[in-house]
Amino acid sequence: MMRQAGRYLPEFRKLRDKYDFFTRCQTPELATEITLQPIRIIKPDAAILFSDILVVPQAMGVNIQMREGLGPYISPPVRASKQIKEIRVPNIQETLGYVLEAIKMTNRELAGEVPLIGFSGAPWTILCYLVQGQGSKTFDKAKEFCFSNVNLAEELLQKITDTTIAYLKEKVKAGCHVIQIFDSWGGVLSPKDHKIFSWKYINQIVVSLADIVPVIVFAKGCWYTLEEMASSKASALGIDWTCPPHQARKLAGEGITLQGNLDPARLLSPIAEIQKMTVQMIREFGKDRYIANLGHGMLPHIPVDHARAFVDTVKSYNS
């Protein structure tokens, strides 16, 4: 499940109370432990390496803080030509070696029990945080920057893309079996602008990786790109909960795997309702070329038994 290691687990909260966010990301032993927690507790079919999409711009030299109750905070926001010129495409081994070590450590602990998924943010989604300076519902300042400074936006997006490609290739070498790209904020763009500022760069990443590892692309709120994404080299497409399964399959076609798409808030429903909705979801997507998942990330106040009920229902499904 997306964000399957996290605040809904009491074991995670104990570590959160003891170590700050980026310490958890940057300490291989802690990242490994957090990655393994859901495998032990709710037993999904794959482990997702605990990390964050913003370790990439950190490695590029951007100062990023994670503030309690606010989330990512970048001060000053990246909006000037001089700032973008100073941002580097780094040596991945030197700047993100702690992630690679966590991958190796996690695989040793997993001992082949389940595959390990690595991930990154889409360049557009990372730009949103860097330019806006913090989270937002609209990312209006990020959009303003791109629409009024196209050349600067392209320069920044390309640097993020080049770094992401190098980073993900190293993650595969270190032992990730699948890669997922999260375009969490693609949905704030129009279809035309998504093609210009997001898909163009995601596709570079997909093309660079597709011959060495399966790549899943999750573009939240971007149902309108499914047909184009399905014609790319991506192995699977994540579907958010606002796109009905039949519509997703109609747009994407039969030749690509779909992943999704239960509303994470639905895991707050009674367990019997979770079980019923999960079975219905699988039937609507069809069991072939399909990965059962949520339509976005786990929420922090979901009961563990409810998360486990979702996983158990999928694993016991019998058509």
Q: How far apart are CA 283 and CA 138, in angstroms?
A: 34
For 184-237, write each residue's pLDDT tens digit. 999 999 999 999 999 999 999 999 999 999 999 999 999 999 999 999 999 999
Neighbours of 68 (CB within 10 A): 7
Known active-site residue 16: yes
Known active-site residue 249: no
pTM of the predicted structure, to 2 decimals: 0.97
Known active-site residue 129: yes
Q: How far apart are CA 45 and CA 283, in angstroms?
A: 19
For 18-62, write each residue's pLDDT tens digit. 999 999 999 999 999 999 999 999 999 999 999 999 999 999 999
Mean pLDDT, range 88-114, rounded to an integer: 98
Q: How far apart are CA 260 and CA 240, in angstroms?
A: 6
Eight-state DSSP code of residue 184: T
For 303-316, write each residue's pLDDT tens digit. 999 999 999 999 99
pLDDT at 103 over 90: yes
Mean pLDDT, range 76-98, rounded to an integer: 97
Q: How far apart are CA 197 and CA 298, in angstroms?
A: 27
The predicted structure's pLDDT at residue 69: 82
Q: How confident is the model at residue 83 (pLDDT cuts 50, 70, 90)?
A: very high
Region for residue 151 given its phi and psi (left: phi exceeds 0; alpha: psi -120 to 50; beta: otherwise): alpha
Q: Which of 8, 129, 167, 201 is catalytic?
A: 129
Q: Which of 52, 183, 240, 263 is catalytic?
A: 52
Using the structure block, give the residue that is written with the tokens 């596709």.
203
The predicted structure's pLDDT at residue 26: 98
CATH number for the region 10-315 comes to: 3.20.20.210
Residue 126 CA to its chain's centroid (Å):
11
Of residues 299, 6, 45, the one with CA closest to residue 178: 45
